[in-house]
Amino acid sequence: MKRRNFLSAVGSGVVAASAGSLPQGVLAAAPAGNGPVKLGLLFSQSGAMANNESLLKDISLMTIDQLNAKGGVMGRKVEGVVVDPASDWPMYAQMSKQLILSDKVSALFGCWTSVSRKSVLPVVEANDSLLFYPLHFEGEEQSKNVVYLNSPPSSSVLPAVEYLMTPQGGEAKRFFMLGSDYVWPRTINKMLKGYLKTKGVPDSAIREQYVPFSHSNFQSIVREIKAFAAQPGGQAIVVLTVVGDSIPALFKEAINQGIRATDIPILGLDVVDSDLEGLDTTPLVGHLSCWCYFQNIDTPANRQLKTDWANYVKAKQLKHRPDMVIDPMVSTVMGIQLWAQAATKAKSFEPAAVRKAMAGMTVVDPAGYTARMDASNQYLWRGTMIGSINAKQGFDILWKSKDIVKPVPYSPFIKG
């Protein structure tokens, strides 16, 4: 016993010495030869979010492999440390703490839902680490410890809704907002209501409904949507912010009750190709989604990424569809590339140095833009597009912005 205590005391002393007392300069001066540099991958592989988050985990590992094939970052191999927070929000905080403190990761890539990000936020702030967050979300947040790789709603959702209110977009006049009951849908809808008010849409033309997580019985809600759409006041659309399993459940019910995009278009803000897996999308053709990337974009960078992913899925015998790449996956890849570029520029893996090097940095966006990190906040400037569901379980691009759009973290349409 004594012996073991002694050894562990020595052991922890060594760890403490290497972590605490080794100055950053040493790492920076001699980047090679210190073993691999670690990145924490905080994506659920079980629970309600597993479907989507496991894609991000695997494409992260692929990008890390690619970095290593090119000799790593500053001569050091990169290693992805995978954990499974099991779609359990407090678990994200716990596991991020473990990744930072015991695995000593240089940066974290992770989270899908806002509630999981909010759960990790205090941890990365307390330890001055960096979380690269690949999802579009409700905005209203700005932390120096989070890198927001996707668009806040003012540069993604509002342009999409604005388009749907034009004659070309079908002149939407009435809005049925249906969301899962948590911060992202509620904030988006609050913002949207503020925005619609400035457009002269009366309160009576807006209906708001929330369902619990993993809600799958949408009979009465779909019936209500149909009734709402048939009422006077003009064309109705559904702004859908339900997440996870609820998305295919809602679509199934909508198909069965005969809702078609030509009658009531559904703008699914969290709908990606993977949600359409397992659905016959012929009756869903024309429903909409808005993201910074859809895989049908035809650019050399995107073709390369899609080929890489298909090969990786086959080589590793993953259960994912080899022919499906979605926006958060691309954002994750861009995030890892951004991190590698910034670390190389800073000649350091320290979060503070990486953060400083990242400001104003550009990175290739497979969607055909050159994305740029904002110089003052940590939001990435991205392009934005509206996709329309096609019969092949994917999206065609209905509309896209000419260039990257300035991200507005705090929406003027939310008061208080």
Partner 1 sequence: MASVSVRLQGHGLWRRWLRHVWLLSLCCHLLPAQAALPTDERRALVVALCTQPAAYRATLDRVVQAVVGSSAEDAAWGQALLKGLADVALVCREQGGPVFKRADGHVDAATLQAVSEAVDELPMVPSLVLARLLKTSQAEAELFSPDVGTRRAAAQRISQAYAQINEPLVRQALAKASDPEVVATLELALAKRQLASDQAPDRIDAIRALTKAPSEATRTLLSNHQEANPAMDGLEHEALVQALKSIDRALKLGQIGSIAFSGLSYAGVLLITALGLSIVFGLLGVINLAHGEFIMLGAYATFVVEKWLQAYAPGWFDAYVFLAIPFAFVVCGLIGIVLEMTVIRHLYKRPLETLLATWAVSIALIKLVQIVFGSQNVEFITPSFLQGGVQVSAGFFITWNRVFAIALALAIFGATYGLIRHTRFGLLIRATTQRRDTARALGLPAPTIDRLAFGLGSGLAGLAGVVLTQIASVNPSMGTSFVVDAFMVVVLGGAGSLVGTAVSSLMLGEVNQLIEPFYGAVAAKVAVLLLIVLIIQRRPQGLFALKTRS
One of 98, 214, 377, 401 touching partner 1 (CB under 8 A): 214
* Minimum CB–partner distance for residue 314 and partner 1 (Å): 14
Cβ atoms of 75 and 32 closer than 8 Å = yes
371 sits in which H/E element: strand 369-373
Per-residue contact flags (x/-) with partner 1 for residues 252 to 281, judged by CB under 8 A: xx-xxxx-xxxx-x--------xx-xxxx-
Selected from 232, 376, 415, 416, the binder of partner 1 by CB under 8 A is: 232
Query: Could you tell me if 154 and 408 are in contact, meaning their C-beta atoms sit under 8 angstroms apart?
Result: yes
Examine residue 403 and tell whether it contacts partner 1 (CB under 8 A): no
Residue 240 one-letter amino acid = L
For the bound state, the minimum distance from the C-beta of residue 359 to partner 1, rounded and expressed in Å, comes to 35
Site for partner 1 in 32-91 (CB under 8 A): 45-48, 50-51, 54, 87
HEC profile for 250-319? HHHHHHHCCCCCCCCCEEECCCCHHHHCCCCCHHHCCCEEEECCCCCCCCHHHHHHHHHHHHHHHHCCCC
Residue for token digits 């909409």?
288
Instruction: Decide: 237 and 164 in contact? Cβ < 8 Å.
Output: yes
The answer to whether 99 and 351 are in contact (CB under 8 A) is no
Binding partner 1 (rule: CB under 8 A), the pick from 217, 304, 311, 370 is 217
The least distance separating partner 1 from the CB of residue 265, rounded to whole angstroms, comes to: 6
Helix axes 157-165, 183-198, angle to 10 degrees: 40
Q: Does 402 bind partner 1 (CB under 8 A)?
A: no
For 196-256, the DSSP string reads HHHTT--GGGEEEEEE-TT----HHHHHHHHHHHHSSSS-EEEEEE--TTHHHHHHHHHHH
| 21 contributes a contact to partner 1 by CB under 8 A | no
Name the helix (H) or strand (E) containing 12: helix 2-16
Q: Give least dist CB 220 to partner 1, A.
A: 5
- Three-class secondary structure of residue 154 per DSSP: helix
Report the residue number, 83 or 121, with the smaller CB distance to partner 1: 83
Q: Which of 82, 115, 206, 249 binds partner 1 (CB under 8 A)?
A: 249
Q: Which is nearer to partner 1, 212 or 416 (CB)?
A: 212
Tell me the two tokens of residue 216: 């799958």
Please, what is the minimum distance in Å from the beta carbon of residue 14 to partner 1? Answer: 35
332 binds partner 1 (CB under 8 A): no
193-212: which residues touch partner 1 (CB under 8 A)?
209-212
Residue nearer to partner 1 on the CB measure, 113 or 145: 113
**Beta carbons within 10 angstroms of residue 202's beta carbon:** 11
Q: Is 12 in the site for partner 1 (CB under 8 A)?
A: no
Q: Does 173 bind partner 1 (CB under 8 A)?
A: no
How far apart are CB 371 and partner 1 at their closest, in Å?
A: 22
Q: Is 367 in the site for partner 1 (CB under 8 A)?
A: no
- Tell me the closest approach of the beta carbon of residue 366 to partner 1, in angstroms: 15
Separation of alpha carbons 76 and 344, rounded Å: 11
Report the residue number, 80 or 265, with the smaller CB distance to partner 1: 265
177 counts as binding partner 1 under rule CB under 8 A:
no
Q: State the Cα–Cα distance between residues 142 and 149, nearest whole angstrom.
A: 12
| Residues forming the site for partner 1 (CB under 8 A) | 45-48, 50-51, 54, 87, 164, 167-170, 181, 209-212, 214-217, 219-221, 223-224, 226-227, 230-232, 245, 248-249, 252-253, 255-258, 260-263, 265, 274-275, 277-280, 286, 296, 298, 318-321, 388, 390-391, 396-398
